[in-house]
Amino acid sequence: MLFTGRVRLFTLLFALAALLALAGCAGQDIAVQPTREGAKITPAKGAGQDLPAQPAGQAAEQKKEAGQNTPKVPRPELGVPAAEARTPAKGNKVAYLTFDDGPNSDYTERVLDILRQKKAKASFMVVGRNIRQNPTVLQRILADGHAVINHTSSHDYNIIYQSAESFIADLDECSQVITRYTGSPAMIFRAPGGPDKLNRDFTEKLRKRGYISVGWNISAVDSDPHGVSATQVYNNIAGGLERVEKLRLTPIILMHDGTQLTTTQAAPGSALAIYIQNREATLSALPKVIDHFHGKGYKFVVVDEHTPPAW
Ligand SMILES: [Zn+2]
């Protein structure tokens, strides 16, 4: 009797507990329902699995980056040109547009507008001191998927060509500035005045430091101190392409978006006026230059470690 009573009591208690548990679940369900979306996002399934190790490392990286670069910098991936913009395997008809001496506030963005419109990629040989003056222009170069190539920090021949050491120090300084925006050092460089300026001592020391030189084999001749017209720029490049094709070289075209100017108010006939005329000539010729190459089946890609030697 006592035993059956106990059993009944247990059964009763068990049933009561089950009921309470059910009510509890139901209660939870009701409470959670309105915020179900939120409940899914927080600790629930996927997020919990992602939490250990890996993101913690990433967060530390980001913190480190943020600490190193006090001004706001774009995400490092902005500096990585899209895969289709990089040098492809042999057999494809590719060409390289390169613009030296920027970024500047007067012409670089106009070059970028044309490139965007014509769906062409280019490489910008940038000068450290110009980046400091025009960081947003550099950011746009990167955001548009073009390459940024080291063109020294000062671009001052008196400093950089003193010795291989001073040349490397100037390149290092520019690389550090570029790294703030791209997340990686800028080891591909173009020597101001061209690779012919580098003697054996320079080239050996540069190679040991891991620097890779990139020259050109077609020149727009758009730094002519006598001034050039858009037609001349176009003809210089189209003629250069014919020569390069005969030599079976990959076209690497030298143009200038130019250094930062302190003023665009120039007296007629002055060196500055001619400089401005030359920049305008390059800009006017550029769409036709791109069309000419596209018409011959070329695709413009960016300079990278796989870019073939100019000569
Ligand atoms: Zn230059």
Claim to verify: residue 43 and residue 101 sit in the same structural domain: no
Count of CA atoms in the C-beta half-sphere (13 A) of 273: 6
Tell me how far CA of residue 7 lies from CA of 2, 4, 15, 20, 59, in angstroms. 9, 5, 12, 20, 58
How confident is the model over 110-120, as a mean pLDDT? 98
Rounded to whole angstroms, the Cα distance separating 218 from 245 reads 11
Task: Give distance in angstroms: CA of 32 to centre of ligand 1.
Answer: 64
* Confidence (pLDDT) at 85: 76
Report which of residues 272 and 10 the model is more confident about. Answer: 272
How confident is the model over 177-204, as a mean pLDDT? 97
* Confidence (pLDDT) at 92: 82
115-136 residues labelled b (16+ CB within 10 A) or e (exposed):
beebebbbbbbbbbbbbeebbe
Tell me how far CA of residue 279 lies from CA of 99, 234, 261, 305, in angstroms. 11, 13, 12, 29
* Confidence (pLDDT) at 81: 67
Place of tokens 């950011």: 139
Residue 66 in any domain: the answer is: no
Task: Give distance in angstroms: CA of 174 to centre of ligand 1.
Answer: 13
Residue 60 in any domain: the answer is: no
Rounded to whole angstroms, the Cα distance separating 130 from 174 reads 10
Q: Is the pLDDT of residue 64 over 50?
A: no
- Residue 89: pLDDT band (50, 70, 90) is low
Report which of residues 25 and 136 the model is more confident about. Answer: 136
Which segment of 100-104, 177-181, 191-195, 264-268 scores lowest on mean pLDDT? 264-268
Report which of residues 74 and 41 the model is more confident about. Answer: 74
Q: How far apart, in Å, do the first and last CA atoms of the chain sit?
A: 107
Report the candidate in 132, 125, 117, 133 with the shortest Cα–Cα distance to residue 152: 125
Per-chain mean pLDDT for the chain: 81
Claim to verify: residue 143 and residue 207 sit in the same structural domain: yes
Tens digits of residue pLDDT in 45-56: 323 233 223 333
Residue 309 in any domain: the answer is: no
Q: Is the pLDDT of residue 231 over 90?
A: yes
Rounded to whole angstroms, the Cα distance separating 238 from 295 reads 12
Around ion ligand 1, residues with a beta carbon closer than 5 Å are 100-101, 192
Task: Give distance in angstroms: CA of 131 to centre of ligand 1.
Answer: 14
Report the candidate in 123, 34, 114, 35 with the shortest Cα–Cα distance to residue 87: 123
Claim to verify: residue 110 and residue 197 sit in the same structural domain: yes
Report the candidate in 170, 253, 163, 245 with the shortest Cα–Cα distance to residue 215: 253
Task: Give distance in angstroms: CA of 100 to centre of ligand 1.
Answer: 5
Task: Give distance in angstroms: CA of 192 to centre of ligand 1.
Answer: 4
Task: Give distance in angstroms: CA of 36 to centre of ligand 1.
Answer: 60
The DSSP secondary-structure symbol of 111 reads: H
- Helix 200-208, helix 164-182: angle, nearest 10: 40
* Confidence (pLDDT) at 51: 27
* Confidence (pLDDT) at 87: 73
Residue 74 in any domain: the answer is: no
* Confidence (pLDDT) at 33: 32
Q: Is the pLDDT of residue 18 over 80?
A: no
Residue 170 in any domain: the answer is: yes
Residue 162 in any domain: the answer is: yes
Q: Is the pLDDT of residue 5 over 60?
A: no
Tens digits of residue pLDDT in 218-228: 999 999 999 99
Range of the domain at 159: 81-300
Tens digits of residue pLDDT in 201-224: 999 999 999 999 999 999 999 999
Claim to verify: residue 100 and residue 210 sit in the same structural domain: yes
Claim to verify: residue 191 and residue 263 sit in the same structural domain: yes
- Residue 90: pLDDT band (50, 70, 90) is low
Rounded to whole angstroms, the Cα distance separating 225 from 271 reads 7
Query: What's the domain count of the chain?
Result: 2
Place of tokens 């084999």: 217
Which segment of 48-57, 119-128, 210-219, 276-285 scores lowest on mean pLDDT? 48-57
Rounded to whole angstroms, the Cα distance separating 188 from 171 reads 10
Task: Give distance in angstroms: CA of 30 to centre of ligand 1.
Answer: 69
Residue 284 in any domain: the answer is: yes
Contact 189, 149 (CB under 8 A): yes
Instruction: Phi first, then psi: give them for residue 182, nearest 5 degrees.
Output: -105, -20
* Confidence (pLDDT) at 80: 58
